[in-house]
Amino acid sequence: MDWLKGMNTVIEHIEENLTQPIQYESFSRIVGCSVYEFSRIFSFMAGISISEYIRRRRLSQAVFDIQKGSEKITDIALKYCYDSSTTFARAFKELHGTTPTSVRKTNVPLKTYPPISFTLIIKGVGEMNFRIEKRDSFQLMGYSGYENPDELVEWTPGNYITKFWKEFTDKYARIYGRYDSAPFWQVGAYDFHSVDGKTKAIIGCEYKGVIPDGIDEVTVKTIPAATWAVFSIQSSTGNENANTGLTRILTEWFPSSAYKRNEDVPFLDVYPVGDVGSDEYTWEIWMPVLNK
């Protein structure tokens, strides 16, 4: 996939649909990855989330419509996909520092955010450490839910994996008086499916035993047998480092490798037991692959 062409096609698609509801799934189809992966990569490359970029472009164009003076503010609000003039005015003031009506009455300073474009930057100097592995199917057990890819703070693996495993083992011990099964991995898995821009995700651990009764709020997901490209990354596990790793895999490694993304299997962020906040910590991205 030509990522440079794909990302610029996304920008063109946004420009053509500023006055229409935009589904994140359309972006992922253009670029050829999942919604979650696209959202992470766009944020990393553009410096803002995709939802914020669309918001800025709509409110930038709305200024010109207001200045023409031929349309009602309410109609302009609806035109740019706001539910009411009140929500539109609030967003407009947050961005421009003034109200929509004041634009017609006085000469006020305003902001504009032109369409962005993605250009080629020579990269690839840093090494990428990977190996190819085949694994049979296995179970992930943990917390799951829909997350907005633009708001990843509460899904930070260091928070949720530790919280999950402590709560699970405590409950297991209370029910059975013991627990004798340890996690093989601590895992964050994403992209089971997406609805309205939100991604189904699970953060937890691989579990080889039988899930005991009485363990509440536990989701079990079977990851199918697959071939994986496993990338080792030495860094803390903050979103910036995770997004850098994912972006390089999709935009640098895949185009030059003999593999393509297996879109039927979710990718995994894998966090072995250790200090996830340390710059010396080593963790992995498991990317499902197929031969080209």
For 30, other C-beta atoms within 10 Å of its C-beta total 18
Collapsing DSSP to helix, strand or coil, 152 comes out as coil
Collapsing DSSP to helix, strand or coil, 17 comes out as coil
Cβ-proximal residues to 76 (8 Å cutoff; 6+ apart), any chain: 62, 65, 66, 88, 100
Tokens 């190996």 belong to residue? 131
Top-level class of domain 129-291: alpha beta
At residue 153, the pLDDT reads 37
Q: Give dist(CA 31, CA 49) in Å, integer.
A: 16
Residue ranges of the domains in the chain?
Answer: 3-105, 129-291
Torsion of CA 187, 191, 192, 193, to 10 degrees: 160
At residue 166, the pLDDT reads 64
Stretch (H or E) spanning 41: helix 35-46
**What sign for the dihedral angle of Cα 5, 6, 11, 13?**
positive
The tens digit of pLDDT for each residue in 182-201 reads 444 455 555 444 445 555 66
At residue 235, the pLDDT reads 72
DSSP 81: T
Closest CA to 184 of 165, 199, 202: 165
Collapsing DSSP to helix, strand or coil, 265 comes out as coil
Ranges of the chain with pLDDT below 70: 1, 106, 120-126, 143-201, 203-204, 208-218, 236-242, 273-277
Pairing relation of β-strands 186-189 and 129-135? unpaired
Closest CA to 27 of 56, 62, 48, 54: 54
Q: What CATH number has the domain spanning 3-105?
A: 1.10.10.60
Cβ-proximal residues to 47 (8 Å cutoff; 6+ apart), any chain: none
- For 53, counting Cβ atoms within 10 Å of its Cβ (0-12 exposed, 13-18 middle, 19+ buried), the class is buried
Q: Give dist(CA 213, CA 147) in Å, integer.
A: 27
Burial 158-172 (b: 16+ CB within 10 A, else e): bebbeebbeebeebb
At residue 17, the pLDDT reads 95
